[in-house]
Amino acid sequence: MILFYLSSGLFLGWSLGGNDAANVFGTAVGSRMVRFRTAATICSLFVVIGAVNGGGGTTQTLGNLGAVDALAGSFMVALAAAVTVMWMTRVGLPVSTSQAIVGAILGWNLFAGRLTDWDSLRDIVLTWVVCPLLAGAIAALIFLLIRFLLSRSRIHLLTLDMYVRLGLLLVGAFGAYSLGANNIANVVGVFVPSSPFDDFRIHGQLLLTSEQLLFLLGGLAIAVGVFTYSHRVMKTVGASLMKLSPEAALIVVLAQALVLFLFASEELESFLQARNLPALPLVPISSSQAVVGAIIGIGIAKGGKGIHYRTLGEIGSGWVTTPICAGLLAFVSLFFLQNVFHLDVAQRLNYCLDQVVIEKLAQQGVTDPGLMNLEGKEYNRAQRLNAELRRETQLDRLQRARVVAAAECVDYRLDPDLIKDTLDPAWFSVEQLAAIDTLTGREFQRAWEFLEALEAETQDWRPQPGHSKAKARNLEAKREYMLRTFRVQDGQ
Amino acid sequence: MPFVFRTTKELEAQIDSFLNAVSEGALLYRQSLASYLGGKLEKFEERLTALRRLETKADDLRRQVENHLYRHSLIPEHRGDVLGLLESMDNIINSAKKSLVILSVETPHIPEEWHPFYLELADMAVAAAEQCVLAARAFFRDVRSVGDCLHKVYFFEKEADKIAEQLKRKIFGSDLDLSQKFHLRNAVVHVDALADMAEDSADRLRIYAIKRSP
């Protein structure tokens, strides 16, 4: 059953592998610089490595946008995105998996009555616009640099050919890694909050988290797509659509890989933040649009001839049409799944504003006399509570989001058996484990109450401003793990 | 990778050897013609034999390069151009050999007062071929300087045409028998053919260079 639910994501992965691998190795294979088998092997290997190793950042961004928390919902969100991609491709409209999945998640938010994180959405949409521009700028710069170097190197045509061949393999591997890291969120990102897997450990040593296991599966689906479907696409890309010289192809792939990497690398984000530099948001982007941007960048560097401005318009229209199509499709199909097949497409959450919540909000500086009017009322949709808050209070959007988060009611119980059987002592510090032991048997009705109780026991559970990005993310993963593990499921 | 590196270096060496053969062939042609006009027929035959060997060597090298390029799928973008270039360069040395073979077989009697014209015509044709070889070398290493060589090829070819025309006018304005006039005219045409072949190669190179320029 789990595999059935995952199948839509895997199908999306297969289609991504079939189509987007061509962006990485298409010209190399189409122009016969690299054999398909070599390209497919390198591409698959590095996509999987990229997905498992670097897929966390973009997945978190998608998770912020909307945490699809029921497997059936994840299934339908991924399926809606996949069908949108397939249908738009067939009709000949420009389409991107990233944009389809974002639309589908928004559709789920709307259907499940969850609030959309507008800041995340703004980051995502801005990134889509920036991505082709950045790819174009990078490609133009590299093109000018390479042209300058080549004009002075008097390198033999055949030696150049050999370097380009080698470069296409290396850059292709980097491109595949970046594609895996950036786009795996599109494939299995929506399954992460409802991941059916446990962490994979051998002798207490954590090898792969449940998230990474999902990424591995998604990466393998992409790899299957590369081997089974991408050859034809690569031939088309290499031979007809993009009449690029191998040198230009190398630049295009490098620019695309760099852009995908920039918007996926958590290491780079930490590096920039550690030096007080602005970090790029980690957002899944469209590799095809990065490629088009890079080609246009080279065109401009060459003097601006032969640029198809219509293509730019088509990309722009894709930013709007794809999410709308996927969102509508997701909404309608979720309706059918829930009402015809009686499947839970989202966890049923209740929101209740009681005195405890209002006091907690006051501590956070969120106060409004209108909150008292809502005290004691229960809501089963975040959007309803949000609408009520908008009517009754003067709170702004961010404050309302805080109220909704604080009012969310979920039961947690620190079951002693679960602590013994599930928790891996090797992953937690001694203090953290001691805190869990102290709380054994306790029950909580809200996530923040549970986390506050943990924090009260030891500093090790508390996020500190001085923490490095990696450390903060690690702590966040542990906190989320606790919430996931000790949540009381319906009927328990 | 070391294998590819070795193959590449071998191939570069073969292309260089091929161009050397064409260049040497052109120079040898000029010397052979001088020997023929000077009446040193033994020396002429020796040089013709040397030219034949060079021409065979150039053919072999060209075929090896062609095989290599296709077997290892090298320079897919420019493979056809390189093959076309090598074949047209090969025509230059073929034309030189053919011209000398005709002299050897037909032994036309060329009056002494026209010897300087024939030698000057050969100088221009050889210079055109030489510049063409330089342009071909530039095509592989420094495509931007191909143009510098090509305009010299066109210059020398035009000069050769002018001299050939003058010579033909002199031949047909003389009191020689018509049969001898035709014979001498034929010799002029064959010397001039060398320059024409260089021009053909230059025309191809011009287009290939545009395709290669970044």
- Residue A492: pLDDT band with limits 50, 70, 90: very low
- The verdict on A147 touching B (C-beta cutoff 8 Å) is yes
Interface test with A, best of B8, B11, B71, B211 (most A CBs within 10 A): B8
Q: Pick from A157, A169, A302 the residue to mutate for testing the B interface (most B CBs within 10 Å).
A: A157
Tens-place pLDDT, residues A70-88: 888 889 999 999 999 888 8
Q: What is the pLDDT of residues A273-326, one digit of tens each?
A: 778 888 788 889 988 888 888 888 888 888 876 666 676 777 778 778 889 999
Q: Distance (Å) from the C-alpha of residue A178 to the closest C-alpha of chain B?
A: 25
Of B4, B76, B78, the CB nearest to A157: B78
Q: Express as a percent the part of chain A with pLDDT over 90.
A: 24
**A158 vs B12: CB contact, 8 Å cut-off?**
yes
* Greater model confidence, A434 or B97: B97
DSSP, res B176: S
Chain segment B17-31, per-residue pLDDT in tens: 999 999 999 999 999
| pLDDT of A241 | 47
Tell me which residue in B77, B82, B142 faces A245 most closely, judged by beta carbons: B77
> Chains A, B: CB contacts under 8 A, how many?
45
The per-residue pLDDT of chain A, averaged, comes to: 85
Which of A146, A156, A165 has the CB atom closest to B12's CB atom?
A156
Q: Do B76 and A246 touch (CB under 8 A)?
A: yes
The larger pLDDT score, comparing residue A241 to residue A438, is at A438
Q: What is chain B's mean pLDDT, rounded?
A: 93
A242-258: pLDDT as tens digits: 567 788 889 999 999 99
* Cβ of residue A155 closer than 8 Å to a chain B Cβ: yes
Chain A residues with CB-CB distance to B139 below 8 A = 157
What pLDDT was estimated at residue B64? 93
* Contact yes or no for A33 and B76 at CB 8 A: yes
Residues of A in contact with B214 (CB under 8 A): 146-147, 150-151, 247
The pLDDT-based confidence of B140 (bands split at 50, 70, 90) is very high
pLDDT of residue B198: 96
Residue A150: predicted pLDDT = 86
CB spacing of A162 vs B139 below 8 angstroms: no
What SS3 string covers chain A? CHHHHHHHHHHHHHHHHHHHHHHHHHHHHHCCCCCHHHHHHHHHHHHHHHHHHHCHHHHHHHHHHCCCCCHHHHHHHHHHHHHHHHHHHHHCCCCCHHHHHHHHHHHHHHHHCCCCCHHHHHHHHHHHHHHHHHHHHHHHHHHHHHHHHHHHHCCCHHHHHHHHHHHHHHHHHHHHHHHHHHHHHHHHHHHCCCCCCCCEEECCEEEECHHHHHHHHHHHHHHHHHHHHHHHHHHHHHHHHCCCCHHHHHHHHHHHHHHHHHCCCHHHHHHHHHCCCCCCCCCCCCHHHHHHHHHHHHHHHCCCCCCCHHHHHHHHHHHHHHHHHHHHHHHHHHHHHHHCCCCCCCCCCEEECCHHHHHHHHHCCCCCCHHHHHCCCEECCHHHHHHHHHHHCCCCHHHHHHHHHHHEECCEECCHHHHHHHCCHHHCCHHHHHHHHHCCCCEECCHHHHHHHHHHHCHHHCCCCCCCHHHHHHHHHHHHHHHHHHECCCCC
Q: Catalogue the long-range contacts made by A87-95 (C-beta closer than 8 Å, 24 or more residues apart).
A: A87/A325, A88/A321, A88/A322, A88/A325, A89/A19, A93/A314, A93/A318, A93/A321, A94/A288, A94/A289, A94/A314, A94/A315, A94/A317, A94/A318, A95/A318, A95/A322
User: A36 CA to chain B: closest CA distance, Å?
Assistant: 13
By CA distance, what is A246's nearest residue in B? B77
What's the pTM?
A: 0.80
Q: What is the pLDDT of residue B131?
A: 96
State the pLDDT at residue A88.
Answer: 82
Mind telling me how many Å the CA of A23 is from chain B's nearest CA?
19
Backbone angles phi, psi at A208, to 5 degrees: -135, 135
Check B144 against A151: CB less than 8 A apart: yes
Residues of B in contact with A151 (CB under 8 A): 144, 214
Q: What pLDDT band is residue A385 in, cutting at 50, 70 and 90?
A: confident
Confidence of residue B2 (pLDDT cuts 50, 70, 90): low
Range B5-27 average pLDDT: 92
CB contact under 8 A, B141 and A154: yes
Q: Which of A34, A36, A146, A162 to mutate to test the interface with B (most CBs of B within 10 A)?
A: A162
**What pLDDT digit, counting tens, does each position of A470-479 carry?**
677 778 878 8
